[in-house]
Chain A
Amino acid sequence: MSHIELPPPVAPDWHRWRSGLFGGWGNSLITLAALGAFAWLFHPLLRWAVIDAVWTGTAKDCAVDGAGACWAFIGAKLRFILFAFFPPDLQWRPALVVATVLALLVLSALPRFWSFRLVPLWIAALVLSWLLMAGTLTPPQVSTNNWGGLPITLVVSIAGLAFAFPIALLLALARQSNMGVVRTLAITFIETLRGVPMIAVLYVAMLIVPLALPSGAAIDKLLRAQIGVTLFFSAYLAEVIRAGLQVVPWGQREAALSLGLGYIQTIRLIVLPQALRAVIPAIVNLSIGIVLNTSLLAVIGIYDLLNAAKTSATDPTWLGFHTEAYVFAAAVYFVICFTGSRYSIWLEKRLNAATRH
């Protein structure tokens, strides 16, 4: 007789809700108190954001007494918040870049498409994005000083992760090395960058790097910031990868050596596939951290999404709608990062299921 597998019975939703909200008098009391507190807290918020909000019109309509949030402002300044000072008639370029990057992200997120062919694809996409934005091949050219908004946030984050990865891999291996000098250099680099706030690294990129270059040489401001972000996150990524390397038992390396594999072969064929698989969710979480932290570029005067939102509220015709601008920017960040963190949880479950079988 065949074995019948039935899933364990699950209580119906309303049952779970009832016991979660009103199971026992203490719980009911908490529920009622919480409802009261939410009503007190959210009522003014709801009035501001929805009921009293102004959805269309001009700044004059928003200046009426008792008006709530001015969402008309977001409608009017949407293109500025998304693309900052990029010439308006050329804004199809950053829009195309954002669309391409998002499409590639979706593609890379599906384990079905995981292969090393993605690496050249990404590199090509990043290089082409840069060329398209700068207009090197398709004039008119646009200086990086005019770049801004969402494409900056996305491209700096992704390029940061892409370039940090090889550096971090070398650092993580160096930290495990049996060569004392190599190990010490790696530890010094990692601990120094992890010990200082990111803003200090960005200051170095902005203020010190121009001084440290030989006279006459200069690196673009955005590129310097990109280098700073990359180095900063390579230290964090190195620690993530190191955690993965520690998952692989040392005996496997010894076994590989005894089979006659060299160091590079051992690492490439035996250690890395297992180590990286173990830390993919952690890498996704770190990437979310990178996206969030690129907002610090605002402090050094680069027009990323946050800075564009901040600046949009200084337009003389739409003066002072800071709160609306920040709420909108927050929503954009939230959509990106929340999707990422859900994805990381889904991936973790899937990978765990795959190794268990």
Chain B
Amino acid sequence: MFIINCPYCGERDQSEFSCGGEAHIERPKQPTELSDDQWAEYLFMRKNIKGIQFERWNHAHGCRKWFNVVRDTSNDKIHAVYKMGERPPLK
């Protein structure tokens, strides 16, 4: 159980949050113009890194806001937390 510093509410227990997987995968603006392969790339392909990973989290049982987290998946250390639309740090 880690502690996540919600950019809106502050530090809260992990049980208040849900994880939405890898961050910065933008939904294509014009899906109809994509080939099957291109669409599949968006739809299915995820990196699942061991190490520093950019993730989406939702403060589901708090303010309900989505935001991004930079987490080291090997030790759960959270290096940064930033709001949706903000520039990712370190990247």
Co-assembled chains A and B: no
Residues of chain A touching chain B, judged by Cβ–Cβ distance below 8 Å, are none
Residues of chain B touching chain A, judged by Cβ–Cβ distance below 8 Å, are none
